[in-house]
């Protein structure tokens, strides 16, 4: 019984300290399932489906029931002529009612038919918008993830620097206390140690901010505990980002969205033009008329009637309203096509710039990586010389400072490279492939 009580007591704490260990691919998968913008895009797809049903409904049978009950407070009077003598006659009865049901069925209405035709491209457009939303989520999560990864690596390097500096500080402090070294040396190392501690505190604050940004990009609660699991993969194989084929703007989601919008604009123009075409519909009507001198007589004195027929509507004059609407629609189509050409040209430029930027970032990253390795070798050599008494403390601190600067340059180059690789995938329209190849 006691064990059960202890277990019950600890359950809430287990929930509080639960931690999600996630790779980059798992972070993206979570975002694609849980981010609010994805749910909004899915709602828009559902809305497009209902808009299609609405357009189809306009061509299906429509039935209405109309009723009216009147008390004629003062009957309308008409004047008739009998033998050239005017005679006034009250028309109607004090109480009357009408009840009718009418069924209407369009037989030919080109505007309605074009509205139905727009259902498919409208659904496809909403689906493409969801794909564009997914691409934006992949980009945001990936860039935030790499930011967290780099800061995490920065903290690791700073902690390594701190451990070395603490050992050096303990040695110089002991030497100063025993009179075999200068106190100023211990002070110099202590200043370096304090600077490293400040850098670690800033890096840890930046890590929290970056991690919150990642969780927000995923659509995850900020209070959730998250640990990244595949950071070593990205740090050890820095330039091993997925490679993709040649750039083809027509394969991008942005191009497909513009093409679909142009298609819908063209259907809209045709629908406006179809407003000049006659429409034909069929109708059937059945009704009851009731009249009486009293309220009750209306319900007992009923006369039924029925009608079936065809209705033609031929538009003649509208003050050139449809002509103005049609010309506006044609201008919109022309503008959309020009924007498509402009966006294609801009996208080609963005792709070329992104390609150059990634190659430059890759070159800089490899250079900074080599420089960091050389500065580490230099530090190790000076450290051996310092221990052997052939190098001064200043030489060692300068070597350590150079190594730290090289580490910072490498980390900055790393984030620059990953952002450049993401920008290239985004410009190429291959973010989905980037995600699938993780």
Written as one string, the DSSP assignment of 11-34 is: HHHHHHT--EEE-HHHHHHHHHHH
This prediction's pTM: 0.85
Is the pLDDT reported for residue 15 higher than 50?
Answer: no
Rounded Cα distance between 24 and 418, Å, is 13
Q: Rounded to an integer, what distance in angstroms lies between the CA atom of residue 183 and that of residue 195? A: 19
Overall average pLDDT of the 380-403 stretch: 91
pLDDT at 350: 93
Would you state the pLDDT for residue 270?
94
The pLDDT of residue 154: 94
Instruction: For the chain, list the domains and their CATH numbers.
Output: 17-59+109-277+320-436 (1.20.1600.10), 65-107+280-314 (2.20.200)
Long-range pairs of 254-259 with CB within 8 A, sequence gap ≥ 24: 254/132, 254/343, 254/347, 254/429, 255/340, 255/343, 255/344, 255/347, 255/429, 256/128, 257/125, 257/128, 257/129, 257/132, 258/336, 258/339, 258/340, 258/343, 259/340
pLDDT tens digits for range 32-51: 999 999 999 999 999 999 99
Residue 300, pLDDT score = 86
> What pLDDT, on a 0 to 100 scale, did the predictor assign at position 229?
87
Asked if residue 291 has pLDDT above 70, the reply is: yes
pLDDT at 92: 75
pLDDT tops 70 at residue 161: yes
Instruction: Please tell me the predicted confidence (pLDDT) of residue 437.
Output: 87
Torsions phi, psi of 74, nearest 5? -135, 115
pLDDT band at 102; cut points 50, 70, 90: very high
- Considering only 72-76, 152-156, 335-339, which range has the smallest mean pLDDT? 72-76
Q: What is the mean pLDDT of residues 116-132?
A: 95
Q: Residue 198's pLDDT is what?
A: 96
Average pLDDT over residues 296-316: 90
């Amino acid at each position: 019984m006691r064990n059960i009580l202890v277990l019950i007591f600890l359950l809430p704490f287990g929930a509080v300290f639960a931690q999600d260990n996630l790779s980059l691919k798992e972070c993206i998968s979570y975002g694609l399932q849980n981010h609010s913008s994805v749910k909004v895009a899915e709602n828009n797809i559902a809305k497009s489906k209902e808009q299609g049903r609405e357009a189809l409904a306009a061509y299906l049978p429509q039935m209405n029931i109309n009723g009216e009950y009147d008390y004629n407070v003062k009957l309308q009077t008409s004047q008739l002529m009998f033998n050239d003598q005017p005679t006034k006659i009250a028309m109607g009865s004090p109480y009357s009612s009408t009840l009718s049901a009418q069924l209407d069925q369009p037989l030919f209405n080109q505007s309605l038919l074009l509205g139905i035709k727009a259902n498919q491209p409208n659904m496809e457009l909403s689906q493409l918008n969801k794909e564009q939303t997914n691409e934006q989520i992949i980009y945001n999560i990936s860039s935030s993830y790499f930011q967290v990864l780099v800061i995490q690596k920065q903290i690791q390097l700073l902690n390594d620097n701190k451990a070395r500096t603490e050992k050096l500080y303990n040695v110089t402090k002991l030497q100063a206390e025993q009179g075999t070294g200068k106190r100023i040396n211990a002070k110099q190392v202590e200043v370096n140690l304090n600077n490293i501690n400040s850098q670690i505190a800033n890096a840890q604050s930046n890590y929290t901010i970056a991690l919150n940004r990642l969780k927000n990009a995923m659509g995850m609660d900020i209070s959730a505990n998250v640990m990244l699991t595949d950071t070593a993969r990205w740090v050890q194989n820095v330039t091993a980002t997925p490679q993709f084929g040649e750039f083809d703007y027509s394969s991008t989601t942005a191009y497909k969205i513009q093409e679909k919008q142009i298609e819908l604009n063209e259907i809209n123009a045709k629908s406006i033009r179809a407003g000049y075409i006659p429409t034909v519909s069929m109708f059937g009507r059945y009704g009851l008329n009731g009249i009486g001198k009293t309220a009750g007589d209306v319900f007992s004195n009923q006369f039924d009637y029925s009608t079936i027929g065809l209705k033609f509507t031929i538009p003649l004059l509208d003050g050139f309203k449809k002509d103005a609407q049609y010309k506006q629609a044609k201008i919109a189509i022309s503008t959309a096509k020009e924007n498509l050409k402009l966006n294609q040209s801009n996208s080609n430029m963005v792709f070329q710039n992104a390609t150059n930027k990634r190659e430059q970032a890759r070159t800089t990253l490899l250079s900074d990586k080599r420089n960091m390795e050389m500065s580490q070798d230099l530090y190790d050599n000076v450290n051996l010389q310092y221990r052997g008494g052939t190098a001064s403390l200043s030489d060692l601190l300068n070597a350590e400072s150079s190594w730290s600067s090289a580490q910072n340059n490498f980390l900055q180059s790393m984030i620059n490279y990953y952002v450049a690789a993401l920008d290239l995938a985004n410009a190429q329209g291959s973010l989905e492939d980037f995600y699938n190849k993780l």
